[in-house]
A and B are shown apart, each in its own frame.
Chain A
Amino acid sequence: MVTLEEARAIAAAVPDPELPVLTLGDLGILRDVVRREDGGIEVVITPTYSGCPAMDAIRDDLRRALPGASVRTVLSPPWTTDWITEEGRAKLREHGISPPGRAVALTLSPRCPRCRSPRTRLVSRYGSTACKALFTCTDCLEPFEHVKEI
């Protein structure tokens, strides 16, 4: 039987289906791993956005990674991009996706992940998933996705 510590590490290492460069641990959507009364493992997760279509896939991936585990979904406290770890932010940057700033304002424009220029322009508030917006760098002209603050 896996220890709680091992189960936590396994659950945290499961990749996110929509942002596979990040793990569930990096994204902060893994909230807890606990021992059930019957001795089994319960994994507690929270969705990034209310309508996140990846939740079913995430539940399946977790049950595959931890056979016998149950998965519980909670909405409170609501997920925030502030929960994305430093390591997660570094991975996003490496993959050309601009990581979120502190979740306060809608208006701060992100730096270009390619040339680091702060001169970037919002193209669309919604990218390929609800959590991303589309930007273009006005210096190097690179189009890029930005994980928007929430």
Chain B
Amino acid sequence: MTEPVEGTGKHGNPLNSLAIGDDCLVLSHRLAEWITWAPTLEEEVALANLSLDLLGQARALLSRHGDEDELAYLRDPGEFRNCLLVEQPNGDFAHTVVRHLLYTAFLFELYGGHPEDEVAAKGVKEIAYHRDYARVWTLRLGLGTEESHRRMTAALADLWPYTGELFEDDPGLRAPWDAFVGGTLREASLAVPETGQRTGGRRGEHTEHLAALLAEMQSLHREHPGARW
């Protein structure tokens, strides 16, 4: 592995390109799982495009650490540094929307604080659209029917425990994230849940969902070593 050269962001920490690259890769794969399952054709196209943006960012970030294919396809779960939030299953559409809101609100602040990093400087413009997509769906579902409101509330309760981990490396991102996420939830008449917190992803201690995701993502490459995309 080559040692990446990284600058220092506004908040004084370098961009953790291995952890964020893994976040982008895992979330990209989750979104791609919606293909042929999305509720409407427009959402299918949108989710595929969100997935592609994240895959592009993952490739650029991970290639700083070695061969992108080896990193994606040949590491075991314990070697991945992604946060627990992005590996959580798609669930219903509400879970996917809430996961995307919580994560991209974080990534938007993180990238925005690293104008010296070329992936972040480019990615922040893309993630602005992701965050907006998730915000609009949060409003629509939160203010929609009793059923959609109930599903959003359930998704928030399931996913909120994984939000604290996002700020382990850079606690300074918490306040702007709270302002955006809290404001969006209020506007959508959804309550911020009070739950305990679970961490471990950044140390390689994952939920059982990552192993299942990787088994699928890596199966082709492990069966046919050297296959390229």
Interface residues of chain A, those whose CB is within 8 Å of chain B, are: 47, 49-53, 75-80, 106, 123-130, 134, 148, 150
Contact = CB atoms under 8 A, between A and B. Distances in A.
A80 B126 CA distance: 11
Given A50-B57, A75-B60, A150 B46 contact: no
Contacts of A124: 42-43, 45-46
Interface of B is mostly: helix
B126 A49 contact: yes
Given A47-B56, A50-B57, A51-B54, A125 B46 contact: yes
Given A75-B60, A130-B52, A125 B133 contact: yes
B119 A129 contact: no
Contacts of A52: 52, 56
Contacts of A50: 53, 56-57, 60, 119, 122-123, 126
A123 B42 contact: yes
Contacts of B49: 126, 129-130
B24 to A, nearest CB: 9
B209 interface: no
Nearest to A76: B118
A148 B60 CA distance: 23
16 contacts: A47-B56, A49-B52, A49-B56, A50-B53, A50-B122, A50-B126, A51-B51, A51-B52, A76-B118, A76-B122, A78-B118, A106-B128, A124-B46, A126-B49, A126-B50, A128-B45
A129 B53 CA distance: 11
Interface residues of B, number: 26
Interface string B117-134: 011011101101100110
A51 B127 CA distance: 12
B128 A78 contact: no
B46 A126 contact: yes
A21 to B, nearest CB: 20
A75 B52 contact: no
Contacts of B133: 125-126
Contacts of A79: 122
A130 B55 CA distance: 13
Given A49-B56, A106-B132, 12 more contacts: A49-B126, A52-B56, A78-B118, A78-B121, A106-B128, A123-B42, A124-B42, A126-B50, A126-B133, A130-B53, A130-B126, A148-B129
B118 to A, nearest CB: 4
Contacts of A49: 52-53, 56, 126
Contact of B118 (A75, A125, A128, A130): A75
Nearest to A133: B129
A150 B50 contact: no
Nearest to A131: B49
Interface in B57-100: 57, 60
A53 B119 CA distance: 17
A126 B56 contact: no
Contact of A76 (B42, B121, B125, B132): B121
A6 B93 CA distance: 52
Contacts of A77: 121
A52 B126 CA distance: 12
